[in-house]
Each structure stands twice: as C-alpha cells, then as structure tokens.
Amino acid sequence: MRKSPIRHHVRRHIRSNRPVHDYMRGKGDRPPKLAKPRLKKQQSAQLNYVVSIAYVKSPSETLQINAVSYPEAIETALIIRREFEPPHEIAVKRITR
C-alpha cells in the first residue's frame, strides 16, 4: 500500500496481532482546499408575451409567445410568423398572471 506524503495522524490499530500506537506520518503539507464549483441557476420562469407585428401591405399578426426576455420573445415571433415581408412595426406586451 502506498504511503501518503501528506502529514497525517495514524490511529491505533492492530498489525500482525500486535497493537500499534497512534503516531504522525508524512512530511508534506495538505494541498489547499478548493471551493466546490457551483453552476449558475438558469432562469426557469418563462413569461408570457404578446407580440404584435404590423406590415405595410398585409394585415397585422398577433402571436402569444413564452420567453425569458423581450429580445427572445421578438426573435421567436420573427421566426414563427406567417408573412415573409419585412415588418413595419413590432409591439411587445408582457402578460401578467
């Protein structure tokens, strides 16, 4: 069995049917204790937004989106919209529960 180079206390035990007293073993210092890594808590609360997209030639669309933030709500609405012409106006309103 490998002996640890770190200074530590060996407790009383029995070796080959003979009692062994407690003693200190090793010469080196313990390595510094590092903090346990903590992951950032994700924002799990998704909010409801109503995104209204107005076009110049076509009728406007109103989409209800679940998103974490305003920019994400706008981005999601632009991805799933029906019209492909550029929007004239975009309005975002958060729905409170």
Q: Which residue has the tokens 């609405």?
A: 77
Of 77, 69, 75, the closest CA to residue 94 belongs to: 69
Q: How far apart are CA 75 and CA 68, in angstroms?
A: 11
Q: Is the pTM of this model over 0.85?
A: no
Per-residue pLDDT of the chain (97 residues; tens, 9 = 90+): 667 788 889 999 999 999 999 999 888 888 888 888 877 766 556 779 999 999 998 899 999 998 888 899 999 999 998 888 889 999 999 987 6
Instruction: Report whether 78 contacts 55 (CB < 8 A).
Output: no
